[in-house]
Amino acid sequence: MVLGIPPGLFLIAGALLVPLFRGRWRQMYMLFLPLAGLWCLVDGQSGTFFAFTFMEYEIVPVRVDPLSLIFGYIFHIAAALSVVYAWHNDDIVEQMAGLAYAGSGIGAVFAGDLITLFVYWEAMAVTSVFLIWARRTEASYAAGMRYLIIQVGSGVLLLSGAILMAHETGSIAFEKMTLGSLATWLILIAFGIKCAFPFMHNWLQDSYPEATVTGTVFLSAFTTKCAVYALARGFPGEELLIYVGAAMTAFPIFYAVIENDLRRVLAYSLNNQLGFMVVGVGIGTTLAINGAAAHAFAHILYKALLFMSMGAVLYRVGTVKGSELGGLYKSMPFTTVFCIIGAASISAFPLFSGFIAKSLTLSAVAHEGYLAIWMILLFASAGVFHHSGIKIPYFAFFAHDSGKRCKEAPLNMLIAMGITAFMCIAIGVYSPWLYSLLPYPVEYQPYTPSHVIGQYQLLMFSALAFAVLMRFKIYPPELKSVNLDFDITYRKWLPAIYRGMINLTRDGWQSILEDLRRGVQRVVAYMFRHHGPEGILARTWPTGSMALWVAVLLGGILLLYYV
Amino acid sequence: MTDQTPHTPDNSGRKYWLDNPKNVDKVYWSVIVVSVLLFFADALYDKHPEFGIEKVFGFYGIYGFVACVGLVLAAKGLRLLLMRGENYYDDKTKGDS
């Protein structure tokens, strides 16, 4: 704990003081926050802290154990790297939102109960949307709105689940759950939304590419990995997750191959990476949970590195559309090298971080004998290399020279990319370091001839496929386009259905009104016929007819009186 | 938001190694050579297969190649079904990113 403040809350509180600093001091202060937070976690004692009882329920704001620690470490590291990457940017909205968002993510992984988790869960949604809106385009406003509705919706489901859970079991502790009751299903769906399960995934590809250059780097680290942590905590060994995760690894790569916006390609590939982690959680053995945690750790770094390099391209060139780019290695040699290191890491080349992380999950799947799942993951691994490993660097920096010439990325971006790239390699080369941080003891050797040569074969033949398809011009060219995904349901179909219903009800209401009007007109016409100037009852003077009717009435009363 | 420098055509006349198509050919052929070498490297070590299918000679290479060609062809086919104009959702809802 820094100054006795819980981790996460320290960054959120610190973010509020950002406006007090100017210039270099602000840059230093913003870097100080995550580094101080990390420093205080390093000798983190396991246990629960700040616990109190509220309305008979035990609230545990901080629970430190090996599983929450590894996510806590990497979240602080990611925050520090994102801050350095964003040093050139003095947009106060982004600076405060970024730090508060990182703090919320950190708070969530240390939450010991569902209510605390819910609070941080929603804080993540509300703070992160400003990183999208800070782009200040109409597109980012609309995408941010859709993002916010979905993210807050996830929080509402989580809260509903937590309340039902409290009602059923009398406890709101955030521990392993067994899927069955409505409460657990609601909680799983809440996690699933943030983890971008199939059909709940589109907020990710929709919003991340619309965020700012620096905002996307922040966004790529926290929300989805926080969801992976929540699944690993709440639903380890839940078999359903194996199949959900396998689907997540496979379907986004088809989109990634044909997508033109390179930051959106990375968003699809992020979705695919989450699939590996979800499979690991679903397998649930100690090796598999280690695999999911290691993958999350390594993934945050290389995915941030890839988003940083594409952000640098967007910053300098003004676009990251594959159809507009090419030949940028001439202008941005350092960014090119860093991007290739990120690409090699995500592709799991031996000696890069992805390799020592993904091997754990693949081995865990194989140990449990899931052949079909293993084949899908292998296919997805080849696919990752194909679209993230080759396509991203190839279309941005090589391919057909677009003739675009620009400056190299700003120094602070290069520093952030350099440190991240160094970490990607260091983790891959010296595997015991990452393995020592994992939740369970590791007895695993990633560098066996069998693993290494198998992996090299898989990767080189994928590269060969790319080379051959390019050579024979079979590879689909980058085209300016939008590819339909599940978001068509809420961006086109639901609004169309809504408008259709509105039109239908409006037409219906109008015909009802017309019918009513016609009825009234008929009554009026009828009245007019009888009472109008030419009507049968208007032939005598009204006083005369009144005298007649009064006489009839009096006669009637007289009769009744005698009866 | 972005700090763009003017995109002027490169008049410096500087030639890069990859500008020469012959060197691109070299890259292409070296990928093939490395792949072939890796394929036959399967004979040099003891495999520790978890599944029977891993015992197939050069399994990872064959699978990687077939998977990627299949992936690309399938994705290309999906374009017919999924691809729309850039302004499909709204003229304003896609930023220049």
Q: What is the pLDDT of residues A434-460, one digit of tens each?
A: 999 999 998 888 998 888 999 999 999
| Residues in chain B within 8 Å Cβ distance of A465 | 64-65, 68-69, 72
* Per-residue pLDDT at A167 exceeds 50: yes
Q: Tell which wins on pLDDT, A299 or B78.
A: A299
Query: Which residue does chain A place closest to B34, by CA atoms?
Result: A460
pLDDT band at A197 (very low <50, low <70, confident <90, very high): very high
Residue B58 counted as domain residue: yes
Least confident of A301-310, A505-514, A518-527, A545-554: A545-554
When pLDDT is averaged across residues A501-519 and rounded to a whole number, the result is 91
Residue B93 counted as domain residue: no
* Per-residue pLDDT at A136 exceeds 50: yes
Asked whether A309 and A339 are in contact (CB, 8 A), the reply is yes
The pLDDT mean for chain A works out to 92
A53: phi > 0 → left, psi -120 to 50 → alpha, else beta; which? beta
- The alpha helices in chain B, defined as continuous H runs, are 21-41, 59-82
* Per-residue pLDDT at A336 exceeds 70: yes
CB contact under 8 A, A460 and B46: no
| Residues in chain A within 8 Å Cβ distance of B90 | 142
Residue B4 counted as domain residue: no
Mutation pick from A388, A457, A475, A487 vs chain B, by most beta carbons of B within 10 Å, is A457
When pLDDT is averaged across residues A465-484 and rounded to a whole number, the result is 86
pLDDT band at A106 (very low <50, low <70, confident <90, very high): very high
Q: What is the pLDDT of residue B96?
A: 45
When pLDDT is averaged across residues A139-168 and rounded to a whole number, the result is 94
Mean pLDDT per 10-residue interval, chain B, length 97 residues: 53 72 87 90 80 86 92 89 83 46
Buried b (16+ CB within 10 A) or exposed e, B31-54: beeebeebbebbeeeeeeebeeeb
Determine the structural domain holding residue B29 and report its residue range: 17-82
Rounded distance between C-alpha atoms, residue A479 and residue B80, angstroms: 13
CB contact under 8 A, A476 and B84: no
Query: Which residue does chain B place closest to A211, by CA atoms?
Result: B97
Rounded distance between C-alpha atoms, residue A390 and residue A460, angstroms: 11
Q: How far is B56 from chain A (nearest CA, A)?
A: 12
Residue B88 counted as domain residue: no
When pLDDT is averaged across residues A95-122 and rounded to a whole number, the result is 96
When pLDDT is averaged across residues A61-71 and rounded to a whole number, the result is 93
Of the spans A21-25, A73-77, A400-404, A535-539, which averages the highest pLDDT?
A: A73-77
Least confident of A153-157, A259-263, A309-313, B7-11: B7-11
* Overall domain count for chain B: 1
| Residues in chain B within 8 Å Cβ distance of A371 | 51, 53
The pLDDT tens digits for A19-36 are 999 989 999 999 999 999
- A325: which 2 tokens? 């780019």
pLDDT band at A187 (very low <50, low <70, confident <90, very high): very high
Q: How far is A305 from chain B (nearest CA, A)?
A: 18
Query: Which residue does chain A place closest to B76, by CA atoms?
Result: A476
Q: What is the pLDDT of residue B94?
A: 45
Select from B7, B16, B75 the Cβ nearest to the Cβ of A406.
B7
Q: What is the pLDDT of residue B89?
A: 83
Per DSSP (E only), the strands in A55-156 are 57-59, 62-64
Strand partners, B83: A483
Alpha-carbon distances, residue A302 vs A295, A405, A418, A490 (angstroms): 10, 26, 12, 32
Q: Which helix (H) or strand (E) holds A393?
A: helix A392-397
Rounded distance between C-alpha atoms, residue A96 and residue A62, angstroms: 23
Provide, rounded to the nearest whole percent, the portion of chain A with pLDDT above 90.
72
Strand partners, A57: A54
Q: What is the pLDDT of residue A206?
A: 93
Asked whether A265 and A323 are in contact (CB, 8 A), the reply is no
Asked whether A281 and A324 are in contact (CB, 8 A), the reply is no
* Per-residue pLDDT at A268 exceeds 90: yes
Select from A453, A466, A481 the Cβ nearest to the Cβ of B38.
A453
Q: How many CB pairs under 8 A join A and B?
A: 213
Q: What is the pLDDT of residue A540?
A: 57
Q: What is the pLDDT of residue A42?
A: 82
**Backbone angles phi and psi of A5, in degrees to 5:** -100, 135
Q: What is the pLDDT of residue B12?
A: 57
Rounded distance between C-alpha atoms, residue A189 and residue A164, angstroms: 14
CB contact under 8 A, A139 and B58: no
Q: What is the pLDDT of residue A551?
A: 87
Triad B12, B15, B17: Cα angle to 5°: 155
Strand partners, A58: A53
Asked whether A458 and A381 are in contact (CB, 8 A), the reply is yes
Q: What is the pLDDT of residue A286?
A: 95
Q: What is the ipTM of this complex?
A: 0.82
Rounded distance between C-alpha atoms, residue A442 and residue A427, angstroms: 15
| Residues in chain B within 8 Å Cβ distance of A330 | 10, 14, 16
- B46: which 2 tokens? 């003891």
Strand partners, A54: A57
pLDDT band at A558 (very low <50, low <70, confident <90, very high): confident
Q: Tell which wins on pLDDT, B14 or A38.
A: A38
**Cβ-based neighbour number of residue A396 at 10 Å:** 28
When pLDDT is averaged across residues A72-96 and rounded to a whole number, the result is 95
Say if residue A10 is exposed, middle or buried (CB neighbours under 10 Å; 0-12, 13-18, 19+): buried
Residue B97 counted as domain residue: no
* Per-residue pLDDT at A345 exceeds 70: yes
Q: What is the pLDDT of residue B93?
A: 46
* Per-residue pLDDT at A3 exceeds 70: no
Say if residue A523 is exposed, middle or buried (CB neighbours under 10 Å; 0-12, 13-18, 19+): exposed
Residue B50 counted as domain residue: yes
| Residues in chain B within 8 Å Cβ distance of A481 | 79, 83-86
Q: What is the pLDDT of residue A537?
A: 64
Give me the residues of B, 68-87, that contact A with CB < 8 A. 68-69, 71-76, 78-79, 81-87
For residue A4, the 8-state DSSP code is: T
CB contact under 8 A, B5 and A405: yes
CB contact under 8 A, B97 and A210: yes
Q: Which residue carries 């093939």 as its tokens?
A: B32
Say if residue B30 is exposed, middle or buried (CB neighbours under 10 Å; 0-12, 13-18, 19+): exposed
CB contact under 8 A, B97 and A321: yes
Q: Tell which wins on pLDDT, B20 or A263.
A: A263
Residue B96 counted as domain residue: no
The pLDDT tens digits for A384-434 are 998 888 989 999 998 888 888 889 999 999 999 999 999 999 999 999 999
Q: What is the pLDDT of residue A358?
A: 93
A270: phi > 0 → left, psi -120 to 50 → alpha, else beta; which? alpha
B15 touches chain A (CB under 8 A): no
Buried b (16+ CB within 10 A) or exposed e, A498-514: eeeeeeeeeeeeeeeee
When pLDDT is averaged across residues A161-190 and rounded to a whole number, the result is 93
Composition of chain B by helix, strand, coil, percent to 5: 55, 0, 40
Q: What is the pLDDT of residue A157?
A: 96
Strand partners, A17: none
Q: What is the bridge-based pairing of β-strands A57-59 and B83-84?
A: unpaired
Residue B40 counted as domain residue: yes
Q: What is the pLDDT of residue A340?
A: 96
From the list A275, A273, A270, A271, the residue with the least C-alpha distance to A247 is A275
Rounded distance between C-alpha atoms, residue A132 and residue A134, angstroms: 5
Alpha-carbon distances, residue A255 vs A65, A364, A378, A538, B65 (angstroms): 38, 28, 18, 81, 19
| Residues in chain B within 8 Å Cβ distance of A143 | 93
Q: How far is A492 from chain B (nearest CA, A)?
A: 7
Give me the residues of B, 29-58, that contact A with CB < 8 A. 31-32, 34-35, 38-39, 41-42, 44-48, 50-51, 53-54, 58
* Per-residue pLDDT at A195 exceeds 60: yes
Q: What is the pLDDT of residue A477?
A: 81
